[in-house]
Chains A and B, each alone.
Chain A
Amino acid sequence: MSRRPEPAQDQDPVREHLSPARALEIDPLIEDPDTRIVVCCGSGGVGKTTTAAALGLRAAERGRKVVVLTIDPARRLAQSMGIDSLDNTPRRVKGIDDSAGGELHAMMLDMKRTFDEIVEAHADPERAAAILGNPFYQSLSAGFAGTQEYMAMEKLGQLRSRDEWDLIVVDTPPSRSALDFLDAPKRLGSFLDGKLIRVLLAPAKVGGRAGMKFLNVGMSMMTGALGKVLGGQLLRDVQTFVAAMDSMFGGFRTRADATYKLLQAPGTAFLVVAAPERDALREAAYFVERLAAEDMPLAGLVLNRVHGSGADLLSAERALAAAENLEDSRIVDQPDGKAGLRNSPDTYGSSESPARNVTDGGSPATEDVDGAAPEDEPTATDGERSVERLTAGLLRLHAERMQLLARERRTRDRFTALHPEVAMTEVAALPGDVHDLAGLRDIGERLAAGRAELSGTP
């Protein structure tokens, strides 16, 4: 009988096969002075923000002057970077290793303030006040569909044009769909250019209702319909807003276009972040396809939370069988009381055997009465027994880990088969959350190493 643990059927060959054609090299990417913007995108809950922060820290500690722009309203980045509050301006992160001459700054997007700033920068004070006070504007800027995405891109453009940093790492909004931030600026741009604006503007420009007669019938029907649906007062708010914003529209359009071009520029690198789960990788695949369609430069895929095992030669099946072996012997033991462990001395031959021998020699009947719950008694025998119990548990835990591994590999395999051209780096799963710079640094190292090994044999 062979005692040699055999490699599980589906492992080594699969792992070989699964290695993507290209490994994503993080360090050359973030060290390259030509890389000016890194955009982290992906579906919610895959560790985008953490990845962005870890990349920023790593780049800074390798000598670059970095700003990390995060959009998530949660206090996550703030916590991990030791900053009390991230407001709409970049703050220097303290405690990084700046021996290579780098700096790390971090900021959290405040979309309302970003919008307000645009208005203030592009309109004279009186008009700006009118816009800022308009109820329609207040709702729009406080974060309805698309505003956050648009403002994120706007802020990116601002940071880039200040030219104070040589690398900007952007986290993308937790959108309904990961693609929204690409679409929102365009959508807003086309809306601002569109016919609708002219219809809305028309009455306000020519002096309210009195002007209606100058419009053609179709247009007045439109406004009529809009009024019917929206209610007259809301329509008037929208019209005043649009009229006040009129002078700024050209600027909006230009900026949206400029940001879009910035994303396509060679200095930009997109990283799609995912976890080895079906939905996250499906979203990642959409994203890869979409970026290609938009001529956006994809650097690769960051696969977070990948599990590994230091004992991956032991398959789930063998581990379970062995666990059952150990548990079976315990079940057999139960009816006999502790005497059942009589075989153990051969295996263990430890100092504990005398105690057991005494037990063995004792009257079974007495044992049964006294030791109604044998496991609860901390005798030497139970010590042995609890090691076996623990070992069985360890094996079950391992079997579970191996099943998870196999599932993750299958999921990843599906993605790799669809997109063999996408370079990939894997980040091993951590048992807990990241709270500090040391944790982020650790993630950064895993990102750069690119291979998910068991997170650490302490």
Chain B
Amino acid sequence: MSGKGGTGKTTVAAALALALAEEGKRTLLVEVEGRQGIAQLFETQALPYEERKIAVAPGGGEVFALAIDPELALLDYLQMFYKLGSAGRALRKLGAIDFATTIAPGVRDVLLTGKACEAVRRKDRGGRFVYDYVVMDAPPTGRITRFLNVNDEVAGLAKIGPIHNQAQAVMRVLKSPETAVHLVTLLEEMPVQETADGIAELRAARLPVGRVIVNMVRPQVLDAADLELVGSVSRPAVARSLSSAGLGGARRGGHAERLVEPLLAQAEEYAERYTLETEQRAVLAELDVPLHELPLLAEGMDLAGLYALARKLRGQGVS
């Protein structure tokens, strides 16, 4: 799950994880940017580098969450593949771990995607997949292709050796039909533009584009006919209407009369936004990707809202 900054991709990722967890499924929600946004959404304590159950979905499904810490993931990885227990610690002292996870080209991204892919492929003793779905709250649209494709890049950079093999394995998972990169956007020009650019980049890199989810869609309060009327309506008529609804006098200077201009000004702003939104919807429609819309929650985002969004996603057949 990616999206431009500020579009609510963490929220949508969490809602999707919940939606997918219905009917007794088990999903893992992965955070890679160290913001602890998932913990805040689910109103729990900061997540450690450990898979934890954070929510139960209707119908008995479970959502687990994992905040990947690249440094720990690297030590983990070294331990798992090379049994570098003490050498790992020494590397850390040297600054090598810090170097590898912050400066070295791509290592960080390889570790993050690598850990997520490991969770995707993990099986229990009975040979069943431990998680039915893994949802990653990924970096923003501007960096997503690079982030996911980093394994290709690293595989090119490290032409042989374990990193090369690891990177190749990760790319196989990411480019398989079991992966889908969903993009979250708003009905605004820049996020839509970035979504279009992002899809083009993903396609060019042959990464599987999933769906576009338009988040925070405002309810339609005035329709096209109303908006047409806004420009031409007689001010006194609106004042009388307001007055009849109990909002004071319609005469000049009366309370209802004084509300008319500000209310119509708000309607004109609404009209402007409505036109922009209609244009942006048209742009999105041309992307040739399934579109979904999630409403803006009037009361702000909370846990109840998250479940409501999950139901919406499910209702729209996203899961």
Contacts and interface: CB of A to CB of B under 8 A. Distances in A.
Contacts of A95: none
Given A196-B94, A278-B301, A3 B247 contact: yes
Contact of B6 (A46, A226, A237, A457): A46
Contacts of B104: 140, 144, 238
Contacts of A306: none
Contacts of B234: 387
B273 A432 contact: yes
Contacts of B95: 190-191, 194-196
Interface in B237-290: 237-238, 240-249, 255, 258-259, 261-270, 272-273, 276
A407 interface: yes
A5 interface: yes
B300 A398 contact: no
A318 B78 CA distance: 64
A45 interface: yes
B146 interface: yes
B158 interface: yes
List the 7 closest A-B pairs by CB distance, nearest first.
A231-B161, A44-B5, A45-B6, A310-B262, A139-B105, A311-B262, A322-B245
A81 B293 CA distance: 33
Contact of A191 (B103, B142, B265, B298): B103
A343 to B, nearest CB: 9
Given A348-B240, A400-B298, A395 B94 contact: no
B194 A394 contact: no
Given A323-B245, A454-B262, A431 B255 contact: no
B103 A387 contact: no
Contacts of B294: none
A225 B233 contact: no
Interface string A375-401: 000000000101111111111111011
Interface residues of B, number: 87
Interface in A225-250: 225-226, 228-234, 237-238
Contact of A390 (B139, B158, B229, B255): B229
Contacts of B261: 310, 457
Contacts of A140: 103-105
A135 interface: yes
B98 interface: yes
A191 B270 contact: no
A457 B221 contact: no
A196 B94 CA distance: 6
7 contacts: A140-B104, A174-B140, A177-B35, A190-B95, A222-B90, A232-B160, A387-B241
A293 B4 CA distance: 30
B263 A311 contact: yes
Interface string B193-236: 11000000000000000000000001101100110011001100
A196 B221 CA distance: 62
Contacts of A348: 237, 240
B84 A45 contact: no
Given A146-B102, A190-B95, A222-B91, A136 B266 contact: no
B102 A387 contact: no
B42 interface: no
A387 B233 contact: yes
A322 B256 CA distance: 11
Nearest to A2: B248
Contacts of B33: 176-177
B4 A44 contact: yes
A119 interface: no
Contact of B142 (A3, A74, A277): A74
B268 A458 contact: yes
B71 interface: no
Contacts of A394: 222, 238, 263-264, 266-267
Given A144-B105, A326-B241, A326-B245, 9 more contacts: A1-B246, A136-B157, A234-B158, A321-B246, A390-B233, A394-B238, A395-B245, A400-B221, A407-B300
Interface string A300-326: 000000000111001000100111011
A228 B82 contact: yes
A331 B47 CA distance: 52
B103 A188 contact: yes
Interface in B113-148: 139-140, 142, 146
Contact of B238 (A145, A238, A391, A397): A391
Contacts of B255: 3-5
Name the prevailing secondary structure of the B interface residues: helix
A208 B242 CA distance: 87
B161 to A, nearest CB: 2
A388 B276 CA distance: 26
A163 interface: no
B276 A431 contact: yes
A139 B98 contact: no
A187 interface: yes
Nearest to A238: B104
B140 A397 contact: no
Contacts of A431: 269-270, 272-273, 276
Contacts of A350: 237
Contacts of B76: none
Given A309-B266, A395-B263, A457-B262, A347 B5 contact: no
Contacts of B230: 390
A146 B230 CA distance: 51
A76 interface: yes
B221 A396 contact: yes
Nearest to A314: B259
Question: Most A CB atoms within 10 A — which of B91, B153, B158, B264?
Answer: B158
B237 A387 contact: yes
A82 interface: no
B39 interface: no
Interface in B75-103: 78, 82, 84, 87, 90-91, 94-96, 98-99, 102-103
Given A389-B226, A394-B264, A136 B273 contact: no
A455 interface: yes
Nearest to B279: A432
Question: Most A CB atoms within 10 A — which of B98, B189, B241, B259?
Answer: B241
Interface in B130-183: 139-140, 142, 146, 153, 157-164
